Amino acid sequence: MGTADIGARENFVRSVSRPAAQINLGLSCLYIAAESQPYLDVPLYMGKISEIAERIRQKSQNRRSLYDALYALNDLLFDELGFRGNAGNYYDVRNSLLNEVLERRLGIPITLSVLYMEIGHRIGINLTGVNMSSHFLLSAGAGASLIFVDPFRKGRLYSRWECLRLLSGSGNPPNDSSKLDRLERAHLPQADRKMILARVLNNMKMIHTHSGDFEAAIADAERIQYLMPWNWRNIGDIAHLMGRSGRAREAYEMLSRMVQMMPPHEDVTLQLDSLEMLKPLTEIDGLVDPEKIHEIPFFRI
């Protein structure tokens, strides 16, 4: 990793080393991109976000309601500027890099939501992430006036009832308010800014792993660990990726750390057996043939 890359990592760590509510989401996402694009002009792209927000502010000066503001945001962002979800090439890693989203006007739910939130913040709309398992939404307002926004679908708006109806399938959601609340908590959980950044990085980790770029995937997972130091499963991912890269000693260290962090009710047999088999390979100087590590049970997963 070059000096510029290290600087991007240090900037990212500084940007997220604070309570989640105080994190500058757009800036942190640009620092994620800067690690793989060392000469990225971060202030330039922060300026682009502010320019879009200013254009929307001018259009919506006489807005009378939250709906008016959201419609003004949607009109400019999706209709005039042409931002859209990249359904045709969803797993292009550029969809996860905020500067690329701004340049190409293409993204996935999480990055389009980050852009939407950043613009909303600048024009006075308080938006919250909604961490669905297979999608990502935003919410605005509260109580009976709660609105859900889908930036991947050109800012489509849903009421709470409509959103819960989608979760219930073709039928209507239950009439019982306590059941509705449970459904919302289970399927529409709020996501703070650290969770949002972790989701961006998880997408990148998956893409880099599937493409065989294990070093990039390790970098993604390491940054997740700054956001979620308690995440022992992510530590296991780092161990696995290091093993696939032939980094036996580091894989051993990370797998040992995973075992130490795993909750008491988790079965650690696989990990302990794998550590015993991996240990002789840690005596080899330099990289180890990944095929030798792949023979160890944990690293076959």
pLDDT tens-digit series, residues 110-143? 999 999 999 999 999 999 999 887 789 999 988 7
Q: Confidence class of residue 6 from pLDDT cuts 50, 70 and 90? A: low
Enumerate the H helices of 105-145 as residue ranges: 109-122
Instruction: Kindly report the pTM of this predicted structure.
Output: 0.91
Looking at the fold, whether 38 and 161 belong to one and the same domain comes out as: yes
Look up the CATH number of the domain holding residue 209: 1.25.40
Let me know whether 170 and 42 are in one domain: yes
Averaged pLDDT of the chain: 91
* 161 and 23 belong to one structural domain: yes
When divided into structural domains, the chain yields a total of 2
**241 in Cβ contact with 218 (< 8 Å):** yes
Q: Range of 118's domain?
A: 3-191
Do residues 99 and 128 both lie within one domain?
yes
Distance CA 32, CA 224 (A): 11
User: Which pLDDT score, from 0 to 100, does residue 79 have?
Assistant: 96
The Cβ of residue 192 has, within 10 Å, a number of other Cβ atoms equal to: 15
Q: Which of 143, 172, 191 is the last residue of a domain?
A: 191
Q: Are 27 and 15 in contact (CB under 8 A)?
A: yes
236: its two tokens: 């296991």
Residues 153 and 94 in one domain: yes
Select from 151, 171, 191 the last residue of a domain.
191
Are 97 and 134 within one domain? yes
Q: Are 50 and 24 a contacting pair, CB within 8 Å?
A: no
Q: What band does 169 get if pLDDT is binned at 50, 70 and 90?
A: low
Q: Are 226 and 16 in contact (CB under 8 A)?
A: yes
d(CA 14, CA 28): 9
Q: What is the 3-state secondary structure (H, E, C) of 227-263?
A: HCCCCHHHHHHHHHHHHHCCCHHHHHHHHHHHHHHCC
- Does the pLDDT of residue 291 top 70, yes or no? yes
Name the helix (H) or strand (E) containing 130: strand 127-130
| Intra-chain end-to-end CA distance of the chain, in Å | 28
128 plus 183 within the same structural domain: yes
Q: What is the DSSP string of 171-240?
A: SPPPS-HHHHHHHHHHHS-EE-HHHHHHHHHHHHHHHHHHTT-HHHHHHHHHHHHHH-TT-HHHHHHHHH
3-state secondary structure of 279: helix
Mark whether 93 and 197 lie in a shared domain: no
Domain boundary among 142, 168, 191: 191
Instruction: Mark whether 111 and 256 lie in a shared domain.
Output: no
CATH number (domain holding residue 110): 3.10.620
- For residues 237 and 291, membership in a common domain is answered with yes
Q: Give φ, ψ of 11 to 5 degrees.
A: -65, -40
Q: Which of these, 108, 99, 101, lies nearest to 31 by C-alpha position? A: 99
Provide the token pair at 197: 């950044």
Q: Which residues contact 217 (CB under 8 A, 6 or more apart)?
A: 204, 205, 208, 209, 237, 241
Q: Is the pLDDT of residue 4 over 60?
A: no
Looking at the structure, tell me whether residues 54 and 64 fall in a common domain: yes
* CA 233 and chain centroid, separation: 16
Tell whether 141 and 67 lie within a shared domain.
yes
Percent of the chain with pLDDT over 70: 90
Q: How far apart are CA 35 and CA 3, in angstroms?
A: 10
